[in-house]
C-alpha cells in the first residue's frame, strides 16, 4: 500500500477544510434564503407580492367549529381565559366571539371519539388581537389560572404569537400582528421566522397599557397528509395564494396577508380520510361578493370535486375530509 508523503497529506487536508468551509457557508446562505431572513439581500428590495388569490383579492377568516365532549368546560376556557364573549347559545352549542364577529363555535358532541393520533385535522386555530395590551392580558390570565395549557411562544417577524391548548387538546394560538408596513415580501414570499418571546417580560411590558380590544379569527393551521396534494387543492382549486413554503408546510392567503391558512405534515404524514371525531368540525373563509363563489364553483366542477351551496355559501371537503365553508360577507370588508 502506498502512503501519501507528509507535505502532500497536509495539502490534501487543507484543501478539504477549505471545501468544508465553503459548503458550510453555502448551507448558511441557502438556509437564509429558505427562511427569507437574508437581511443584506432584502434591505434594498421593494416588496414583491405573490399574484392575488384566485378566490378573492381580499379574504378574511370566519368561524371555526369544534366538536367538543364537555361544552361547559370548553366555553369556560374560551370565555374566561381567552376573553371571548358569548354571542349565542342553546343546549347543544355556543358561539363565542367579539361584538358581532363569531370566532369559535363549540358543538356538544360527547358521543364522538377523540381524534386518532396521526390523523388530519386542526393543528391550531389562531385568534388575532388588535393590541399587544389585550394579548398580554389574555396570556397573563391563562398563565396565572391554567398554566398547564401553555405550550410556547414565537416572534414570527410578522407577528408575536403565544401557543396553548384548550382543555380537550385543540391547539390555540393567540397573536398580535406587527405593522404590515414592516413585513417584507421577496419573490412572492413573506419573510417569517421563529424567535423566543419571554412571556413574563411581555406581560410586564404590555399588560398594564391601554389599547383597543378587538379580537377575531386570524388564521387556521391544518394537519394534512400530503403537502403536494394540499397545495393542489388549496391553491389550484380553492384559489388561495401561496405566501411561504417549506418541504413540510405551506402558508396561504389572499396575497397580501402573511397567511390565513397554514398546513403541515409534522404530526400527520400520509394521513388518510378523517372519520367523525372530537376536534375540528369546519372552518370558514369570507369573500366579498357572490361572483367569487361562481368562479369557485366552476373550478370545483372542473376538478370533479363535489360541493353543496346556498345563495351565499359553498361547502366543500378537502382531500382529508375537513369541511371548508366559503361565505359571502360584504360587511367585514367594509369595516
- Write the DSSP string, 43-55: TTPPP-PPPPPSS
pLDDT surpassing 90 at residue 7: no
158 DSSP assignment: S
Q: What pLDDT digit, counting tens, does each position of 113-156 carry?
A: 999 999 999 999 999 999 999 999 999 999 999 999 999 999 99
User: What's the CATH code of the domain at 197?
Assistant: 3.10.180.10
Residue 67 sits at φ, ψ, to 5 deg, of: -80, 125
Q: What is the pLDDT of residues 147-187, one digit of tens each?
A: 999 999 999 999 999 999 999 999 999 999 999 999 999 99
Residue 251's φ and ψ, nearest 5 degrees, are -135, 135
| pLDDT, position 129 | 97
**How many domains would you assign to the chain?**
1
Beta bridge pairs of residue 317: 323
Whether residue 45 is contained in a domain is answered as no
**Within a domain: 235:** yes
Q: Which domain holds residue 175?
A: 60-333
Q: What's the pLDDT at 211?
A: 75
- The full length of the chain comes to 335
| Residue 27 in domain | no
> Cβ–Cβ contacts within 10 Å for residue 288, how many?
18
Q: Which residues, including other chains, have CB under 8 Å from residue 299's CB and lie 6 or more apart?
A: 54, 237, 238, 239
Residues 291-295, mean pLDDT to the nearest whole number: 96
In a domain, 5, yes or no: no
pTM beyond 0.85: the answer is: yes
Q: Is residue 41 in a domain?
A: no
Task: Rank 20-24, 35-39, 210-214, 223-227 by mean pLDDT and report only the highest.
Answer: 223-227
Q: Does residue 22 form part of some domain?
A: no
Q: How far apart are CA 144 and CA 31, in angstroms?
A: 38
Residue 69 lies in a domain: yes
Decide: helix, strand or coil at residue 72: helix
Q: What is the mean pLDDT of residues 220-229?
A: 98
The answer to the question of residue 4 being in a domain is: no
Amino acid at each position: 500500500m502506498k502512503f501519501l508523503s507528509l507535505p502532500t497529506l497536509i495539502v490534501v487536508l487543507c484543501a478539504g477544510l477549505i471545501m468544508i468551509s465553503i459548503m458550510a457557508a453555502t448551507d448558511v446562505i441557502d438556509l437564509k434564503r429558505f427562511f427569507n431572513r437574508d437581511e443584506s439581500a432584502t434591505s434594498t428590495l421593494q416588496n414583491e407580492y405573490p399574484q392575488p388569490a384566485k378566490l378573492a383579492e381580499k379574504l378574511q377568516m370566519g368561524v371555526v367549529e369544534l366538536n367538543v365532549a364537555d361544552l361547559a368546560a370548553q366555553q369556560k376556557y374560551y370565555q374566561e381565559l381567552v376573553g371571548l364573549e358569548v354571542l349565542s347559545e342553546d343546549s347543544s352549542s355556543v358561539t363565542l366571539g367579539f361584538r358581532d364577529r363569531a370566532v369559535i363555535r363549540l358543538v356538544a358532541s360527547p358521543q364522538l371519539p377523540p381524534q386518532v393520533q396521526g390523523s388530519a385535522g386542526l393543528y391550531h386555530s389562531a385568534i388575532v388581537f388588535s393590541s399587544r395590551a389585550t394579548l398580554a392580558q389574555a396570556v397573563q390570565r391563562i398563565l396565572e389560572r391554567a398554566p398547564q395549557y401553555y405550550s410556547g411562544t414565537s416572534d414570527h417577524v410578522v407577528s408575536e404569537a403565544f401557543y396553548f391548548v384548550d382543555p380537550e387538546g385543540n391547539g390555540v394560538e393567540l397573536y398580535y400582528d406587527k405593522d404590515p408596513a414592516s413585513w417584507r415580501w421577496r419573490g412572492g414570499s413573506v419573510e417569517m421566522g421563529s424567535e423566543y418571546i419571554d412571556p413574563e417580560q411581555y406581560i410586564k411590558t404590555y399588560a398594564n397599557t391601554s389599547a383597543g380590544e378587538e379580537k377575531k379569527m386570524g388564521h387556521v393551521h391544518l394537519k394534512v397528509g400530503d403537502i403536494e396534494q394540499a397545495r393542489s387543492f388549496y391553491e389550484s382549486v380553492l384559489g388561495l395564494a401561496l405566501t411561504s413554503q417549506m418541504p413540510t408546510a405551506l402558508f396561504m392567503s389572499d396575497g397580501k396577508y402573511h397567511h390565513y391558512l397554514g398546513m403541515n405534515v409534522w404530526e400527520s404524514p400520509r394521513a388518510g380520510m378523517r372519520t367523525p371525531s372530537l376536534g375540528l368540525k369546519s372552518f370558514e373563509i369570507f369573500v366579498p361578493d357572490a361572483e367569487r363563489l361562481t368562479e369557485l364553483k366552476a373550478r370545483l366542477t372542473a376538478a370533479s370535486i363535489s360541493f353543496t351551496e346556498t345563495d351565499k355559501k359553498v361547502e366543500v371537503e378537502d382531500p382529508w375530509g375537513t369541511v371548508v365553508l366559503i361565505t359571502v360577507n360584504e360587511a367585514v370588508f367594509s369595516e
